[in-house]
Amino acid sequence: MNDYVVLELSSEMNNKLIYDIDNLLVPRNGIEDYYRSSDLPKSRECFTLNNVPFQFPEISADRNDNLSCESKKIMIAKNKYSSIHFLCSGFPYYYNEKIILFFENQETEIIKIPFPAGNIGHRTRFMHENSNEEVLQARSLSENSMLYIHHSFSNILNDNKLIAIEFPDNPFCHIFAITLGSKASKHKSTSPEHSRPSSYTLMLESI
């Protein structure tokens, strides 16, 4: 896993979507839009999807667990990367958003990342996907529906050192984890158009 860098996002989290059903301190409205923690990876657990390592956010009653985009810009340790991977979801709809990458030589690169709807776990016609379909799956707190967290990614074409990432002005796009692939780990899809943005889902029955 030395070919990947898992970003530490704890200080960037500004929204909460994961709750413990035994400590149900959540808003009364829209309860279907909250993930049940018992169905998801454990707090700060490291795991691999599609050969890409991720670290799940810290899950506790008093901490945010995702980054709601809202034009947020984060700085990272500068290095050259070949791909960028997100654990993400959109609420209440599917979104396809532009993310801006900033490089040491002052160049930028715009990538498009799909944020599939959190209540959709199957392939949709709106996104370019690998033929393998996988998604993190959890019950909503109401137990009346299922919710999903998707793995979306894009290859990075710029060969310079990446220094910052700017997210779209869309508070309905939620990011739970980000992993960067080094130049030695260019991500390949089974699709012939693997340089385009893509999305996977992984169904985990137990972690």
Residue 122, judged by CB atoms within 10 A of its CB (0-12, 13-18, 19+), counts as exposed
Q: Which residues, 6+ apart, have CB-to-CB distance to 29 below 8 Å?
A: none
Measured CA to CA, the distance from residue 181 to residue 64 in angstroms comes to 26
pLDDT at 158: 96
Residue 14 pLDDT > 60: yes
Asked whether the CA dihedral 155, 158, 161, 166 is positive or negative, the reply is negative
Chain segment 130-139, per-residue pLDDT in tens = 333 467 888 7
Lowest mean pLDDT among 7-16, 67-76, 85-94, 185-194: 185-194
pLDDT at 187: 52
Residue 191 pLDDT > 80: no
What are the Cα distances from residue 39, in Å, to 36, 133, 148, 196? Answer: 6, 19, 11, 31
Mean pLDDT of 138-162: 87
For the chain, the average pLDDT equals 80
Select from 177, 162, 9 the least CA-distant residue to 83: 162
pLDDT at 195: 34
Could you tell me what percent of the chain has a pLDDT over 90? 54
Chain segment 31-48, per-residue pLDDT in tens = 567 888 988 999 999 998
Measured CA to CA, the distance from residue 203 to residue 74 in angstroms comes to 29
Residue 204 pLDDT > 60: no
Residue 190: pLDDT band (50, 70, 90) is very low
pTM: 0.82
